[in-house]
């Protein structure tokens, strides 16, 4: 039997090819229910990853993901969603995928088996000792991920592996932290885009979102560092400032403009009655965390 849990047969879905559409939904949903519990077993390790990601970014480094196939796509997806959500620079969270950008939309067979490609990709990303480098491999044994981790470690970066099957010793040897959520055999044998992919997304969401919150990108649970790059986000920005500062919508709009488009700075200016320069200075002094300047939570949800 293959030692990789993600490659084993699932006895609960042995007759799935005979299932009706409704039975298919129920079978897959029953398996998906196991995912959150598997992720919860890694709560301490995920919390450590949040701490390391925050520390890396505060020191001028980055959170970097590397993976192949579904794992690589999930890393790139998570990285790409951070800038519009939290107003972070596009390189602050960076995703590397075996086979390059072409692999995002079309499978690049064999790319995950090329150690030289992994090392070249890590070098191209200019990994430094300030970075936190996370390898993602559902099976825990992907050659590309192991070699990427090894190279990142050689360059001085802190490293972690995210997997859904116990990684082999050679992978654990190049990871400072192992986050291993055992999701069990897949509905379709070996199809790690399913439970393993869902678990991976939950883990990456938690690490990146947790790090951004720790960096002061929210006030309570409000996104105050978002980039108002479209009509929906402009509307959300104005609503946040109006709600938090207790001002009319037009005043909130003017406040955001006076703050150079920054929701966070507009809130501090409005709440403390100070100008933009002073708001920026005070926020810098407290690491960008509004709650350290304005005691108490934002107004309660109505």
Assign 161 to helix, strand or coil.
Answer: strand
Do residues 45 and 83 make contact, with C-beta atoms less than 8 angstroms apart?
A: no
**Block mean pLDDT (10 aa), the chain, length 302:** 80 89 95 96 98 97 96 96 89 94 81 82 97 96 95 98 96 98 91 94 98 94 81 89 91 92 92 95 93 85 60
CA 105 vs CA 30, 136, 154, 172: distances in Å: 29, 18, 31, 30
Assign 164 to helix, strand or coil.
Answer: coil
Q: Please give the positions annotated as active site.
A: 81, 112
Q: What is the pLDDT of residue 11?
A: 83
Q: What single DSSP character describes residue 140?
A: S
Q: What is the pLDDT of residue 4?
A: 84
Domains of the chain: 5-214 (3.40.50.10490), 218-292 (1.10.8.1080)
């Amino acid at each position: 039997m293959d030692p990789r849990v993600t490659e084993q047969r699932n006895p609960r879905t042995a007759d799935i090819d005979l299932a009706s559409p409704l039975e298919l939904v129920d079978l897959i949903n029953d398996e998906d229910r196991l995912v959150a519990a598997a992720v919860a077993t890694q709560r301490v390790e995920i919390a450590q990853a949040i701490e390391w990601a925050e520390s890396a970014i505060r020191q001028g480094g980055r959170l970097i993901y590397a993976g192949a196939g579904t794992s690589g796509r999930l890393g790139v997806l998570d990285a790409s969603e951070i800038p519009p959500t939290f107003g972070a620079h596009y390189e602050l969270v960076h995703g590397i995928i075996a086979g390059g950008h072409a692999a995002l939309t079309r499978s690049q067979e064999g790319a995950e088996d090329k150690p030289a490609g992994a090392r070249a990709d890590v070098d191209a990303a200019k990994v430094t000792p300030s970075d936190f480098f996370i390898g993602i491999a559902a099976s825990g044994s992907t050659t590309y991920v192991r070699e990427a981790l090894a190279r990142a470690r050689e360059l001085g970066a802190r490293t972690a592996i995210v997997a859904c099957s116990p990684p082999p010793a050679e992978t654990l040897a190049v990871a400072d932290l192992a986050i291993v959520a055992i999701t069990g055999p897949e509905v379709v044998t070996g199809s790690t885009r399913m439970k393993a992919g869902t678990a991976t997304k939950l883990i990456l969401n938690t690490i990146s979102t947790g790090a951004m919150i720790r960096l002061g990108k929210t006030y309570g649970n409000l996104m105050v560092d978002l980039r108002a790059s479209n009509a929906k986000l402009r509307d959300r920005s104005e609503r946040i400032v109006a709600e938090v500062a207790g001002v009319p919508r037009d005043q909130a709009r003017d406040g955001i403009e006076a703050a150079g488009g920054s929701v966070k700075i507009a809130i501090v200016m409005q709440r403390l009655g100070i100008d933009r320069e002073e708001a920026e200075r005070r926020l810098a002094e407290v690491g960008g965390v509004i709650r350290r300047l304005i005691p108490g939570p934002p107004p309660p949800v109505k």
